[in-house]
Amino acid sequence: MKNYKIAVLKGDGIGPEIVNEAIKVLDAVADKEGFNLEYNEYLIGGSAVDVFDNPCPDETIKGCLNSDAVLFGSIGGPKWDNLPKEKRPETGLLKLRKSLGLFANIRPAIIFDELVNASTLKPEVIKGVDLEVVRELTGGIYFGEPREKTENVAFNTMIYTREEIERIAEVAFEEAMKRKRKVTSVDKANVLEVSELWREVVEEVHKRYPLVELEHMYVDNAAMQLIRNPKQFDVILTGNIFGDILSDEASMIVGSIGLLPSASIGGKVGLFEPIHGSAPDIAGQGIANPIATILSAAMMLNFLGEENGAKRIQNAIKEVLAKGYRTKDIASFDAKEVVTTEEMGSLIAEHASK
Ligand code: NAD
């Protein structure tokens, strides 16, 4: 029987609640599909600060590197907000991504027909949306040096090398080949030199993917087009800061931030996590939506080559939603029953093991 080692990083806030439900579903699927998942837990974020005085201890990085994949919850919360920058939970996550070489973040936004009413946009605009944001994750302005803040002036550096652009563009074109074969590269080439290079390199990489259609779009236009007509997009390729903003925008097309999964790849192991944070405002209340994390677990199974298991999870979620079960964040007038985090996890696990 195939055995996969999964590093589990539950993190803070709602992290443990939602990851527990994803594990419940994974176990149900593993049982049916005949593979085994071996989980090892490590601390990250605020909970690691509390124990090790370090938001990303070496033991956590080592544990992840010795695994086949990482399942991640969320980090952060008001308890750790006033710590110095190097001890903040968010710094821990950035360090983890960098240490694992995770330069590509893939964020699909698929609308479930059952949830068209959960979005603030009109049903005819969002029905059938199926897009994916491929965001560069370890470069750009978030990491650029020099950076400095003095009393009266502060600056950051937006920097990309040819190699960094090339490898993220390859990920986007490869994704497009598995999908509808269109890449929209988003930049600000009318203003930024770094975007001029971005465009040049993306065009070069495109030559190796003649079957994929490539278009370029300025980020301000992309932000507008995402709301105007999201169905025009297949794969959106973009840098770190633009991708950060656009993927959160894309989440609201889908209805709730609690529905969007992500995969971070590029290194030896992939990391799979919901796009939302630790939601301290609802932590411990049993109302967090576990679907983003459960869909992240499905992406993890795809990454491990267990495509049937991934399909089982996606179908189970569709069936549960079609029956009218909703967590509080997606409960609209069409909800037949509002369920807790744990109930939603159990329902999906039950349907996935049919
Ligand atoms: P957030 O994503 O945690 O929450 C934003 C809003 O969405 C809140 O109202 C929250 O209740 C709701 N929400 C989020 N996930 C939900 C879910 N699964 N089900 C239902 N509702 C959900 O963002 P925030 O409030 O800006 O940040 C809170 C903390 O999370 C901060 O410390 C921040 O730094 C951290 N954060 C962590 C990550 C990560 O772990 N990758 C990402 C973003 C923010």
Distance CA 163, CA 245 (A): 23
CA of 349 to the centre of ligand 1 (A): 24
Q: Are residues 140 and 239 in the same domain?
A: yes
Q: Is 98 domain-assigned?
A: yes
Distance CA 222, CA 255 (A): 19
Q: Are residues 281 and 178 in the same domain?
A: no
Closest atom of ligand 1 relative to the 78 alpha carbon: 32
Whether the CB of 75 sits within 6 Å of ligand 1: yes
* Active-site residue, 220 included: yes
Whether the CB of 329 sits within 6 Å of ligand 1: yes
Which residue among 196, 222, 253 closes a domain?
253
Distance CA 197, CA 314 (A): 38
pLDDT value of residue 32: 95
Q: Is 117 domain-assigned?
A: no
Which of 248, 213, 252 shows the shortest CA–CA distance to 233? Answer: 213
Q: Is 180 domain-assigned?
A: yes
Question: pLDDT of 283-310, one tens digit each?
Answer: 999 999 999 999 999 999 999 999 999 9
Task: Residue 269: give its domain's CATH number.
Answer: 3.40.718.10
Given a contact cutoff of 8 angstroms between Cβ atoms, the answer to whether 87 and 70 are in contact is no
CA of 173 to the centre of ligand 1 (A): 30
Q: Is 175 domain-assigned?
A: yes
* Active-site residue, 188 included: yes
Whether the CB of 243 sits within 6 Å of ligand 1: no
Task: Supply the range of the domain harboring residue 208.
Answer: 130-253
Distance CA 243, CA 79 (A): 28
Question: pLDDT of 120-138, one tens digit each?
Answer: 899 999 999 999 999 999 9
Q: Is 221 domain-assigned?
A: yes
Question: pLDDT of 17-48, one tens digit each?
Answer: 999 999 999 999 999 999 999 999 999 999 99
Whether the CB of 248 sits within 6 Å of ligand 1: no
* Active-site residue, 329 included: no
pLDDT value of residue 251: 80
Whether the CB of 291 sits within 6 Å of ligand 1: no
Which of 137, 48, 58, 52 shows the shortest CA–CA distance to 89? Answer: 48
Looking at ligand 1, which residue's alpha carbon is closest to its atom 20? Answer: 288
Q: Is 114 domain-assigned?
A: no
Q: Are residues 62 and 76 in the same domain?
A: yes
pLDDT value of residue 333: 65
* Two tokens, residue 96: 């983890």
CA of 198 to the centre of ligand 1 (A): 31
Q: Are residues 171 and 212 in the same domain?
A: yes
Which residue among 253, 283, 318 closes a domain?
253
Whether the CB of 280 sits within 6 Å of ligand 1: yes
pLDDT value of residue 335: 67
Q: Are residues 20 and 62 in the same domain?
A: yes
Whether the CB of 77 sits within 6 Å of ligand 1: yes
User: From the candidates 188, 231, 311, 318, which is the catalytic residue?
Assistant: 188
Q: How many residues does the chain have?
A: 354
Q: How many domains does the chain have?
A: 2
Its pTM surpasses 0.85: yes
Q: Is 121 domain-assigned?
A: no
End-to-end CA distance of the chain: 20
Closest atom of ligand 1 relative to the 328 alpha carbon: 20
Per-residue pLDDT of the chain (354 residues; tens, 9 = 90+): 899 999 999 999 999 999 999 999 999 999 999 999 999 999 999 999 999 999 999 999 999 999 999 999 999 999 999 999 999 999 999 899 989 999 999 999 988 888 888 788 999 999 999 999 999 999 999 999 999 999 999 999 999 999 999 999 999 999 999 999 999 999 999 999 999 999 999 999 999 999 999 999 999 999 999 999 999 999 999 999 999 999 888 888 887 889 999 999 999 899 999 999 999 999 999 999 999 999 999 999 999 999 999 999 999 999 999 999 999 998 876 667 999 999 999 999 999 998
CA of 234 to the centre of ligand 1 (A): 26
